[in-house]
């Protein structure tokens, strides 16, 4: 995708991935502009810092002329967006975000980070490590992870990107290697069975070229099943396990928590990796990132030097995490406020367990908003039992996003609440998240950890409580 001097227009430019691509296009000399809705996101600040112009509405007159390429978020389509329709009428080439990312990945040694859980944090930690190791790489994460940006640019020889399994979008990527974090049933609106999502990950992993690397989590049953299937067909791939159950250099030999730090001892690393982000799942993500960094360091300069390794360890300890991944958003009256994106039962359970381990003296007061009706229905039993480590739980309506209609599949947030209430005390239901502000204000006390969790917009509730 040759972009130097090209005029690129981006519909949905405020989306995390779209804004990140805009950053990369801008850095490589493209003339970038775009459009989106008027709602304010953290990406507004990024676009303004880079002086990338954008409209907060959609209209034919926004499109520049001449226009080389139009890139659009998958939240929009050429059938009903006026700007896309006009681009089609003009004969302008159109690329969806996954297509544009795939085209971009052709022009570097590209590593795809994949998995139902852990993609964003693994990608972010990979970027932190590669930057400290002075590897000429570009990194694109699925959230703001690098001083408010979703990208980190040190060079263009290597490209590391979060690649999404939804609708098999990752099959458009061109990986030189893949990091596989976790495989289990998810996105039931597209993958109705585990078998269907498992086969998609197998298809993606088979795209690793001859003698390329497949770095995978030995602790995850689904990832191991994918590797077993792919290995039978592709013995030419280098299979690199990581995790507590891994054999080899990226085995986690020791994991401890001290003074709000995770200490992770990886077999081949002479010193502990110290993390400011809680949970064993984050320890695994750090091992995945270290394995990828080690592969690229060996490829680029042969081996770790003492100085590079020291710089890496220092940089990782300073890293506070990506936006909406156990993100501390503030503290008031002795109450710590946190926001987290976990919306799958496994991620909810592991995140809460990590927080309980990290903050043993704090009560966890949790606002949770389930995401998509199909996921809630398919994993209903798992959701009911995912909140063990929350001391107080407030549930809300289901956030259907653009994918589904309200009450789709006959399941509601109230139904989930009623099932959980049969299992435990201290559970409440308030349909609209922000309507729960008075209830939560009455429940919270000094020393608590107040967490808003999910892929919906209940983060606004935590913001209200912190500010008011």
pTM score of the predicted model: 0.89
Q: Which tokens belong to 137?
A: 């790489």
Say how far apart CA 3 and CA 8 lie, in whole Å.
Answer: 8
Question: Where are the domains positioned within the chain?
Answer: 7-96, 108-318, 327-467
Say how far apart CA 185 and CA 163 lie, in whole Å.
Answer: 17
Q: Which tokens belong to 253?
A: 């030999």
Residue 313 DSSP SS3: helix
Say how far apart CA 224 and CA 239 lie, in whole Å.
Answer: 11
| CATH no. for 7-96 | 3.40.50.720
Task: Please give the CATH architecture assigned to the domain spanning 108-318.
Answer: 3-Layer(aba) Sandwich (3.40)
- pLDDT confidence of residue 404: 66
- pLDDT confidence of residue 408: 59
- pLDDT confidence of residue 327: 86
Say how far apart CA 368 and CA 366 lie, in whole Å.
Answer: 6
- pLDDT confidence of residue 403: 63
- pLDDT confidence of residue 146: 86
Residue 31's nearest CA partner among 4, 50, 13 is: 4
Quick count: other Cβ atoms within 10 Å of Cβ 399? 20
**Fold topology of 327-467:** 3.90.190
- pLDDT confidence of residue 149: 85
- pLDDT confidence of residue 5: 86
Q: What is the C-alpha radius of gyration for the chain, rounded to an integer number of angstroms?
A: 22
- pLDDT confidence of residue 145: 79
DSSP 369-398: --B-HHHHHHTHHHHHTS-TT-SEEEE---
Residue 201's nearest CA partner among 218, 232, 224 is: 224
The tally of CA atoms less than 13 A away on the side-chain side of residue 325 is: 27
- pLDDT confidence of residue 407: 53
Q: Which tokens belong to 284?
A: 């695994």
Q: pLDDT digit of tens for each residue in the chain (468 aa)?
A: 568 889 999 999 998 899 999 999 999 999 999 999 988 888 899 999 999 999 999 999 999 999 999 999 988 888 889 999 999 999 999 999 999 999 999 999 999 999 999 999 999 999 999 999 999 999 999 877 788 888 999 999 999 999 999 899 999 999 999 999 999 998 888 899 999 999 999 999 999 999 999 999 999 999 999 999 999 999 999 999 999 999 999 999 999 998 888 999 999 999 999 999 898 999 999 999 999 999 999 999 888 888 999 999 999 999 887 677 778 889 999 999 999 888 889 999 999 999 999 999 999 999 999 998 988 998 999 999 999 999 999 999 998 766 666 655 688 999 999 999 999 999 999 999 999 999 999 999 999 999 999 988 899 999 999 887
Look at the alpha carbons of 60, 62, 68, 69 in this order and tell me if their dihedral is positive or negative: negative
Say how far apart CA 386 and CA 369 lie, in whole Å.
Answer: 13
């Amino acid at each position: 995708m040759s972009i130097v001097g090209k005029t690129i227009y981006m519909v949905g430019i405020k989306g995390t991935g779209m804004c990140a691509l805009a950053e990369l296009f801008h850095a490589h000399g493209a003339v970038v502009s775009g459009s989106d809705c008027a709602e304010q996101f953290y990406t507004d600040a990024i676009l303004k810092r880079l002086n990338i112009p954008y409209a907060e509405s959609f209209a034919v007159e926004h499109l520049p002329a001449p226009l080389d390429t139009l890139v659009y978020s998958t939240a929009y389509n050429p059938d009903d967006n006026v700007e896309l329709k006009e681009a089609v009428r003009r004969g302008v080439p159109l690329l969806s975000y996954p297509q544009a990312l795939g085209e971009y990945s052709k022009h570097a040694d590209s590593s795809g980070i994949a998995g139902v859980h852990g993609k964003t944090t693994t990608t972010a930690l990979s970027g932190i490590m590669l930057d400290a190791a002075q590897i000429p790489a570009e990194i694109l994460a699925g959230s703001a992870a690098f001083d408010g940006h979703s990208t980190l640019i040190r060079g263009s020889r290597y490209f590391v990107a979060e690649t999404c399994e939804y609708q098999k979008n990752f099959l458009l990527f061109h990986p030189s290697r893949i990091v596989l974090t976790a495989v289990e049933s998810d996105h039931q609106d597209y993958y109705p069975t585990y078998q269907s999502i498992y086969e998609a990950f197998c298809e993606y992993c088979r795209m690793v070229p001859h003698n390329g690397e497949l770095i995978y989590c030995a602790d995850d049953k689904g990832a191991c099943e994918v590797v077993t299937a792919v290995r039978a067909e592709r013995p030419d791939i280098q299979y690199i396990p990581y995790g507590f159950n891994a054999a080899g250099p990226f085995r986690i030999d020791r994991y401890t928590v001290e003074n709000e730090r995770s200490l992770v001892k990886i077999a081949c690393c002479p010193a502990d990796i110290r993390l400011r982000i809680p949970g064993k799942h984050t320890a695994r993500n750090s091992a995945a990132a270290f394995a990828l960094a080690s592969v690229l360091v060996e490829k680029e300069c042969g081996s770790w030097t003492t100085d590079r390794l020291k710089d890496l360890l220092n940089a990782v300890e300073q890293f506070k995490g990506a936006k909406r991944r156990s993100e501390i958003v503030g503290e008031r009256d002795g109450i710590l406020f946190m926001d987290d994106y976990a919306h799958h039962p496994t991620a909810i359970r592991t995140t809460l367990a990590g927080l309980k381990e990290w903050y043993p003296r704090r009560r966890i007061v949790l606002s949770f908003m389930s995401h998509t009706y199909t996921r809630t229905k398919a994993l209903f039993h798992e959701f009911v039992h995912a909140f063990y480590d929350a001391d107080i739980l407030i549930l809300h309506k289901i956030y259907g996003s653009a994918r589904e209609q309200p009450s789709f599949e006959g399941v509601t947030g109230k139904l989930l609440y009623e099932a959980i209430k049969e299992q435990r005390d201290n559970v409440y239901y308030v349909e609209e998240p922000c309507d729960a502000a008075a209830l939560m204000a009455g429940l919270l006390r000094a020393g608590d950890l107040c967490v808003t969790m999910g892929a919906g917009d209940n983060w606004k509730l935590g913001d209200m409580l912190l500010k008011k």
